Structure 1
Amino acid sequence: MTREWGFALRTCGSVLAGLSVLAACSSGGTERGPSPSPTRASPAPTGSGSSRPSASPAAPAGTAEDLVPDLDETKLPKTAAEARAAIGRIIVGQEVFGPDVVHSVPFESDPGRWPVLGEDCAWQTTGLPADVLATTTRYFHVPPKNGQGRLQLNVTVTVHHSREESGWETARAMEEVLRCPDQRLRANEQVKSLWGGVLYQGEQMNGWSEDAFNERGKYVGAEGGGPYLYIWNQAQFGPVTVAVAGKGAAGFTDKAIETVVIQGASRMMQHAEQEFGKAAG
């Protein structure tokens, strides 16, 4: 992403520290921790399912980038069909979040639509921009029970033509927070008091991605009221961005929401690096 936005806000080290811990766990082959980004206001779904604690100690010198493989240019998709196939291998299902999480209805976004944040700070959708080969958002939730509300989760994978294009996606995500700290997702949903930050690979324990963007604020929805925690984690590897959004609800702690968001983001980044990274050795 562009360095101009990268220096604007750098305040999300705690969440990224958690991602780094997950990345470390995945180095043995287990688990690792989109213009505008899809999304805080993901395209209207179609199909069959819906929709920064204290900083940790710095990583030892020379280890912050060890978990990010080199990009293998020969593996990169050249067509939309190839990109959609790769997304199918990168994106996660509800099993990654635990037994309480189920598909929403509808389950997946329209693959031909792209979210855009208007001048009025309201999200709308348009056709795919020229720099996007393919994108998919999936929608999950935890059904309300025992006094808890409906916790919502969105996961998104986007494949661009190049690393430069995916970097610009991250830059635009940062610009959107600076321009619109209060945003309307849909007619009955809002996020307020947003703030965000970017960490490049090697900064503040970001050893898990080339660029990591984190957005945080308060979610207010017609169904469950609020405000509750809203969190969006996005990461880049080569031409790919992966992202997870969590919309809080009654009865869920901020820590619980952060945990499931990090689980999804780290697993998809692991999949992306396996898909397009050079083999070790």
Structure 2
Amino acid sequence: MTYTATQRRTRRGYAVLAVCGVLLAGCSGSSDGGHRTGPSASSASVTSPAGQRGTGVPTVRFTVDPARVPTTPFAALDLVRAVTAGPDSYGPGYIKRPPYESDPAAWPVLGTDCVWRQEPLPGDVLATFTRYSRLPAADSKGEVRTAATVTLHRTAAQADQEMAETLEEALRCPDQQLRATERISGLNSMGSGYGTNGNTSADDYLIEMGTYDDPALGKGATYYIWNQVRLGPVTIAVVLEGGKGFGQGDLLTVQARAVAGMETKVRSELGAQK
């Protein structure tokens, strides 16, 4: 049976609810390892409507202006490039991580063996684009890796289906292989539609948490946090991996800042004029 994102959003959320209070702009409203941010990276506060999340003050729900939505892959790629976050979206000290930008013709797919692979772009996607960044290790703290992805689907219904499929991935594969030496484990996910769990910004909101392990970053697992939102036919995803010495709340705050910034850009590019 196939479920929509709305039908699936509470099936795995219990473990994440406890951390939503520290997410600030995020839970109240996704790594370069997997989901739609892809396993193609190396080792292969913003003032905006999103900033209102969690305050109990509803924001104006996003309304797409159909005339402003690209209809060709070329124009769609220009849009997602303009929106996708780079190092300056996360905070001081973040830099580009090679390869800095993804292959826009590739699409990550989680196989039945819970291993991520690259496949050609599906027909329902006009364009998708990822930028990879990192906060280098310094003092006693380890490296933090980030990836931000923006995808423009042909329809809002197709974007909603991506959200639904992403929620289901954590259910069927709580442990996933990103690349040869990189794994995420113990995944839990939660979704919130507009107007639920403090989400007064996006049409739909997902958060996924677990642990990330890469021997190249040192011994032991670190936090893995992935967040994705949908605004009409657009999905926005940000993932943070590691690093040692960073608390979960620290990473959630950084992630929320990047997501909010991209939401603001999407609203500016595609929103109906009021």
TM-score (structure 1 length as normaliser) = 0.84
Match of 1:32 in 2: none
Shift of 1:20: 6.1
Please say if residues 196 and 214 of structure 1, whose CA atoms lie closer than 8 Å, have aligned partners that are also in contact.
Answer: yes
Q: 2:36 aligns with which of 29, 38, 48?
A: 38
**Selected match of 2:74 from 78, 81, 97:** 81
Is 1:117 paired with 2:110? yes
Q: CA deviation at 1:15?
A: 5.8
Give unmatched runs, 5+ long, in structure 1.
24-35, 52-56
Identity %: 31
| Aligned mates of 1:155, 1:222 — CA distance in 2 | 23
State the partner residue of 1:27: none
Residue 22 (structure 1) shift? 8.8
Aligned partners of 1:114 and 1:127 also within 8 Å: yes
**Structure 1 residues 195 and 206, CA, compared in 2 at 3 Å: closer, same or farther?**
same
- In the superposition, the TM-score normalised over structure 2's length comes to 0.86
Deviation at residue 101 of structure 1 after TM alignment: 0.3
- 8 Å CA contact retained: 1:68, 1:273: no
Structure 2 residue 105 is the aligned partner of structure 1 residue 150 = no
Change (3 A) 1:7 1:20: closer
Contact kept? 1:96, 1:264, Cα under 8 Å? yes
Provide structure 2 residue ranges, at least 5 long, that are not aligned to the other structure. Answer: 45-52
Which residue is 1:182 aligned to?
Answer: 175
- Conserved? CA contact 1:153–1:247, under 8 Å: yes
SS in 1 for 2:122: coil
SS at match of 2:265: helix
Instruction: Say yes or no: does 1:9 pair with 2:16.
Output: no
1:24-59 Cα distance to aligned partner (Å, 9 max, x none): xxxxxxxxxxxx8313xx14248xxx87xxxxx986
Seen in structure 2, the aligned counterparts of structure 1 residues 163 and 256 have a Cα distance that, compared at 3 Å, is same
Could you tell me which amino acid in structure 2 is paired with residue 37 of structure 1?
H
Q: Is the 8 A contact 1:72 1:276 kept in 2?
A: yes
Q: CA RMSD in A?
A: 2.3
- Which residue of 234, 242, 248 corresponds with 1:254? 248
Matched to 2:270, the amino acid is F
Structure 1 residue 213 corresponds to structure 2 residue 206: yes
Give the secondary-structure state (helix, strand or coil) at the position aligned to 1:74. Answer: helix
What is the correspondence of 1:50-89 to structure 2 with a 5 Å cutoff?
A: 60=56, 63-64=57-58, 66-89=59-82
In the other structure, the counterpart of 1:30 is none
C-alpha displacement of 1:267:
0.8
Q: How many residues align?
A: 255
